[in-house]
Structure 1
Amino acid sequence: MNLDQSNSCRDAELLDLIRMGDSAAFREIYEKHWSVLLNMSYKRLDRIEIAEEVVQDIFVNLFLRRAELEVRTSLEAYLKTALKYKIFDVFRSMASHARCVDALVQQQHLTSLHLKAI
């Protein structure tokens, strides 16, 4: 068995333990995958605070959904896919926020022009 297969087997064992509420197993997964996910997140978001929050959300969701969790691939692939979709959510949220700010600035600008005209 090569190293990747060994890691996948260990991750599968840890997932089984997590489903039973084993906090040590959860901590092991967290410590094993945190830095890789954080690096990937930071490379895409370029803001450490947001990158940390995204990765933290992934692990919170993993813990909250532990009983019904079905990982059909490797745990690493599952976590990286979850990260990808969380980052998409952040980009969508940032774009929405930017549109709201632009609309408020435009509204403020029009209000000030209207007041000057009076």
Structure 2
Amino acid sequence: MPKMLSTGSKWTTHRKLLTPAFHFKILENFLPTIANQQKIMFSLIDKEMAENDGVVNDIRKLITNYTLDAICETAMGVTVSAQLNPNSDYVEAIRRTFAVSILRFIKR
């Protein structure tokens, strides 16, 4: 089985390259985007609860679409609107790609 984690000087070098990307000052710039996407998710949760007597049937889908929106907008600067348009071609393509990847991983 291949070695998956690096150690020693290789690990130190990789960590020094990655650490600045996760500095608090950089992450603070993303807070407005994350907060906006959270508001959308909370409104969708409230809507579903109102329609289903206080029950959310599939929170996983809501959280997945929130995560896709937040990551695409913060990391790539692209607005996907997965939460407001969960059946878009892009969102469906992401779901299919993920499903195929999981199947390949399991069958390996």
Tell me the TM-score normalised to structure 2 length: 0.37
Tell me the TM-score normalised to structure 1 length: 0.34
Instruction: Give the structure with the higher percent helix.
Output: 1
Structure of higher CA gyration radius: 1
